[in-house]
Copies of this chain bind each other. A is one copy, B any other.
Amino acid sequence: MRRVAIIGVGCTAIGEHWDKSLRQLLVEAALKAMDSADVERIDALYVGNMMSGALQEQEHLGALVASHLGLRGIPACKVEAACASGGMAIHQAFLAVASGMYDYVMAIGGEKMTDRKTPEVTLALAMADDREYTIAVGASFVALNALVYRLYIEKFNVDQEDIALFSVHDHKYSVNNPHAQFKKPLTLEAIMNSPPVADPIRLFECAPIGDGAAAVILAPLDKVKDKENAVEILASTAAIDHLSLNEREDILTLWSTVEASRKAYKIARIEPKDIDLVEVHDAFSILGVLSLEDLGFAEKGKGWQLVKEGQIEKDGDIPTNTMGGLLGRGHPVGGTGVYQVVEAYYQLTGRAGANQVDDAELALTQSLGGVAGTSVIHILKRMR
């Protein structure tokens, strides 16, 4: 396998882009990434997206976007793995470069969610779980996460406030993220007083609905000219779990994250303690806590302590979601896995502004599909 690096990134601001189509968002992110990488040639394109069929009545996104970018003649397709579509698109781009068949490969992830009514978006999101057995009985996606949250609180005898702190954390850091959807700090009190969505989950413990797209350009390591602006992908892995909660022995363990990160640590020949920076897929505050545990940073039932003790702050032991995470930066579903890698790239190349983590060398990103029916892990290393 050839070694692979990221040589450029780009993204749009996340928000309610009523003046832009999904195609325009994807193209905007792609053009920024091409500028950033200083390449004009792209050999293959992957578009990470979950819901364009349901929300835009548009498929064939790969050819649509490649054609609009003027990239006639290249292979292009859409990659879908629910909320992990963006991370999975990068995994496919990684394999395409690693194989030796393609040199400059772009992965774009994006979603446009605000043009449709909320019930339509709620149904579209629920397509991440089993339509015939789980969603058909009336469960929404937030309801499934609420089951996990409730059990966690009861089993480990934790106060909800200790979990909700994850949202305080994320909103603190998204204030300084130029492309974040939310740019105001949130107090714990405000979060606990926000309306319940599915008990015990409060509104401000949920990632928002938003529009946005992000892009990364991959190349063989031996073709990297500008090491200041490149990061190596030490490992790119993915794993699936039983799709629905009712099929799992233990719903408090994101087993696909355990498995995908185990493989990634092995390939990269590192341990969790070597990681300087983490981006976890906290679509809900509880997922942030569970992810810290299942990535190996805390024992089961104790992930919330890392938050409470300040260890996930940018100067803590394990800086986490230092650009705001899903709760603060936002969560345009198919785009999120790519935004995470873009933000890790910013940190590793020293462009994270006010949120810069000192001297970070190794970063890990975790992209989840469904309630961790899919996990995609990337371990990145700075080259400068």
Give residues in A with beta carbon < 8 Å to B. Answer: 1, 21, 23, 50-54, 56-64, 66-67, 71-82, 85, 88, 91-92, 95-96, 98-101, 123-124, 127-132, 135, 237-243, 247, 255-256, 259, 369-370, 373-374, 376
Contact = CB atoms under 8 A, between A and B. Distances in A.
Contact of A54 (B57, B71, B85, B96): B57
A197 B62 CA distance: 29
A240 B82 contact: no
Contacts of A78: 79-81
A57 B1 contact: no
A146 B79 CA distance: 30
B75 A63 contact: no
A62 B100 contact: no
Contacts of A124: 53
List of 7 A-B pairs having minimum Cβ-Cβ separation, nearest first: A53-B53, A75-B238, A60-B82, A99-B99, A59-B127, A78-B80, A63-B240
Contact of A1 (B60, B62, B101): B101
A106 to B, nearest CB: 13
A74 B101 CA distance: 23
26 contacts: A1-B100, A50-B59, A51-B53, A53-B59, A53-B127, A58-B127, A59-B82, A60-B80, A60-B243, A60-B369, A60-B373, A63-B243, A66-B240, A71-B240, A73-B259, A74-B240, A75-B91, A75-B376, A76-B374, A77-B85, A77-B88, A77-B238, A78-B80, A78-B81, A80-B80, A99-B100
- Copies of this chain, whole number: 2
A379 to B, nearest CB: 14
A243 B69 CA distance: 11
Given A50-B59, A75-B237, A77-B374, 15 more contacts: A60-B81, A60-B128, A62-B80, A62-B81, A63-B240, A64-B243, A66-B240, A67-B241, A73-B256, A75-B376, A76-B81, A77-B238, A78-B79, A78-B81, A95-B101
A54 B54 contact: yes
A63 B370 contact: yes
Contacts of A135: 57
Contacts of A66: 240
Contacts of A243: 60, 63-64, 67
B242 A374 contact: no
B247 A374 contact: no
A102 to B, nearest CB: 8
A77 B80 CA distance: 6
